[in-house]
């Protein structure tokens, strides 16, 4: 933790030692090298990750991430959610198979970027920590040299073809136009940690489309990020969660903090509760309405299928939709019969659980 880097990333052992800050610009970067990622286990990497906020966390903190809520991230950083090892998750780690293949193909994306641009990507085998804002961490895919900005961040991505519309620009200097917002925030976060003034991002889309783009440092956006991440990290350290939302993580947090109700206890709720009750009742009504609409469509499609297992809509291979209604069999334990025939045995293996039931009704 005391190893302060004034611009050296890499190591003499791997032959990639490079002086950061001795490029074509006058930038002198200062950051801590928190840990080497060489020979670092997945579990150890997760432990270091929870010591601060990483680049992929930036969009979550800002509330624009589609896959994770601020509350869930707060619970992770507070060690309230234990992330599994790769062996616990089918060998793919916590983010699943897409992230696994992203890591596997990272080297290929780097090679293709160099092949197309002639710009060498220098690997970074350390977790970096901002000296000015120690809660900000960076795990770079690499860095390279830019003729105007000197040392710049390099980030490699792989993405599904379904997201290709979010990557509008190709091989350009559009400064972030046409890059998913979560990656813009990730790059700006990395620039905040390193002090670099630019970043290249390259992506392999759907396994057959390659794009790259250069993004300049946005000081205004970085200032906003630092403020939001600082406030979030204060909440982690103080044990105060962010504002609750509709995520499963928020529900889990409430269940853990308030597992049991006090019998016969009554409290007068604040005026804001009226608005939330309206929101809840409206959502229940909409769920019922859409559930009925979904069931109507399902019933009519089943009528069209009759006793056929599969129905096909459309003739073109690219637009063909397959509808299926297949028979299947499964065995279920008849607990009612077991209780009747073996009440003592059933009682021996019964386990009482306690939970709380939520409801809204008019008195």
pLDDT at 294 over 90: yes
pLDDT band at 23 (very low <50, low <70, confident <90, very high): very low
pLDDT the model gives residue 222: 96
pLDDT the model gives residue 321: 87
The stretch 258-286 carries a mean pLDDT of 90
Classify each residue of 108-139 as buried b or exposed e, where b means 16 or more C-beta atoms within 10 Å of its C-beta: ebbebbeeeeebebbbbbbbbbbbebebbbbb
pLDDT at 175 over 80: no
* C-alpha to C-alpha distance for 254 and 219, rounded to whole angstroms: 38
pLDDT at 225 over 70: yes
What would the pLDDT profile of 81-117 be if each residue is shown by its tens digit? Answer: 776 544 444 444 555 676 777 677 788 899 999 999 9
pLDDT the model gives residue 284: 92
The stretch 58-69 carries a mean pLDDT of 91
Average pLDDT, the chain: 83
The stretch 262-274 carries a mean pLDDT of 90
What would the pLDDT profile of 328-353 be if each residue is shown by its tens digit? Answer: 888 888 888 888 888 888 888 888 78
Residue matched to tokens 């597992």: 259
pLDDT at 118 over 50: yes
Q: For a pLDDT cut of 90, what percent of the chain falls above it? A: 47
pLDDT at 57 over 70: yes
Of 20-34, 59-73, 181-195, 222-236, least confident by mean pLDDT is 20-34
The stretch 59-80 carries a mean pLDDT of 91
What would the pLDDT profile of 119-146 be if each residue is shown by its tens digit? Answer: 999 999 999 999 999 999 999 999 999 9
pLDDT band at 21 (very low <50, low <70, confident <90, very high): very low
pLDDT at 14 over 90: no
pLDDT the model gives residue 24: 33
pLDDT at 235 over 90: yes
Greater pLDDT, 16 or 210 = 210
The stretch 151-160 carries a mean pLDDT of 92
Q: CA dist 300 to 18, 143, 295, 305, 328, Å?
A: 66, 57, 9, 9, 21
Q: In three state form, how does the secondary structure of the chain look? A: CCCEECCEECCCCCCCCEECCCCCCCCCCCEEEEEECCCCCHHHHHHHHCCCECHHHHHHHCCCCCCCCHHHHHHHHCCCCCCCCHHHHCCCCCCCHHHHHHHHHHHHHHHHHHHHHCCCCECCCEEEEECCCCCEEECCCEEEEECCCEEEEEEEEEECHHHHHHCCCCCECCCCCCCCHHHHHHHHHHHHHHCCCEEEEEEEECCCEEEEEEEECCHHHHHHHHHHHHHHHHHHHHCCCCCCCCCHHHHHHHHHHCCCCCCCCCCCCCCHHHHHHHHHHHHHHHHHHHHHHHHHHHHHHHHHHCCCCEEEECCCCCCCEEEECCCCCCCCCCHHHHHHHCHHHHHHCCCCCCCCCCCCCCC
pLDDT at 46 over 80: yes
* C-alpha to C-alpha distance for 245 and 71, rounded to whole angstroms: 8
pLDDT the model gives residue 346: 82
pLDDT band at 354 (very low <50, low <70, confident <90, very high): confident
Q: How many CB atoms lie within 10 A of CB 103?
A: 15
pLDDT at 16 over 50: no
pLDDT the model gives residue 11: 35
Dihedral pair phi/psi, residue 191, rounded to 5°? -65, -35
pLDDT the model gives residue 246: 86
């Amino acid at each position: 933790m005391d190893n302060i880097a004034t611009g050296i990333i890499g190591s003499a052992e791997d032959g990639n030692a490079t002086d950061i800050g001795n490029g074509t610009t006058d930038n002198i970067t200062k950051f801590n090298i928190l840990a080497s990622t060489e020979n670092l286990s997945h579990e150890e990497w997760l432990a270091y990750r929870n010591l601060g906020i990483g680049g992929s966390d930036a969009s979550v903190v800002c509330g624009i991430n589609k896959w994770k809520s601020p509350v869930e991230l707060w619970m992770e950083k507070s060690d309230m959610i234990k992330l599994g090892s790769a062996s616990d998750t089918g060998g793919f780690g916590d983010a699943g198979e897409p992230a696994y293949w992203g890591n596997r193909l990272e080297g290929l994306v780097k090679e293709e970027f160099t092949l197309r641009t002639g710009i060498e990507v220098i690997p970074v085998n350390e977790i970096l920590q901002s000296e000015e804002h120690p809660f900000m961490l960076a795990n770079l895919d690499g860095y390279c040299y830019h003729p105007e900005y000197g040392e710049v961040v390099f980030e490699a991505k792989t993405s599904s073809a379904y997201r290709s519309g979010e990557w509008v620009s190709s091989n350009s200097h559009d400064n972030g136009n046409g890059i998913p917002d979560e990656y813009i925030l990730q790059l700006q976060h990395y620039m905040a940690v390193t002090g670099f003034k630019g970043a290249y991002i390259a992506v392999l889309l759907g396994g057959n489309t390659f794009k790259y783009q250069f993004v300049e440092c946005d000081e205004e956006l970085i200032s906003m990020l630092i403020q939001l991440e600082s406030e979030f990290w204060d909440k982690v350290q103080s044990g105060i969660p962010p504002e609750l939302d509709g995520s499963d993580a928020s529900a889990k947090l409430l269940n853990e903090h308030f597992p049991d109700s006090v019998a016969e206890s009554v409290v007068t709720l604040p005026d804001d509760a009226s608005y939330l009750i309206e929101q809840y009742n409206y959502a229940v009504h909409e769920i019922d309405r859409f559930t009925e609409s979904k069931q109507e469509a399902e019933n009519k499609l089943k009528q069209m299928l009759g006793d056929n297992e599969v129905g096909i809509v459309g003739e073109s291979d690219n637009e063909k939709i397959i509808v299926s209604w297949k028979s299947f069999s499964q065995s279920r334990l008849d607990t009612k019969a077991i209780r009747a025939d073996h009440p003592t045995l059933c009682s021996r293996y019964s386990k009482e659980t306690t939970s709380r039931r939520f409801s809204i009704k008019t008195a």
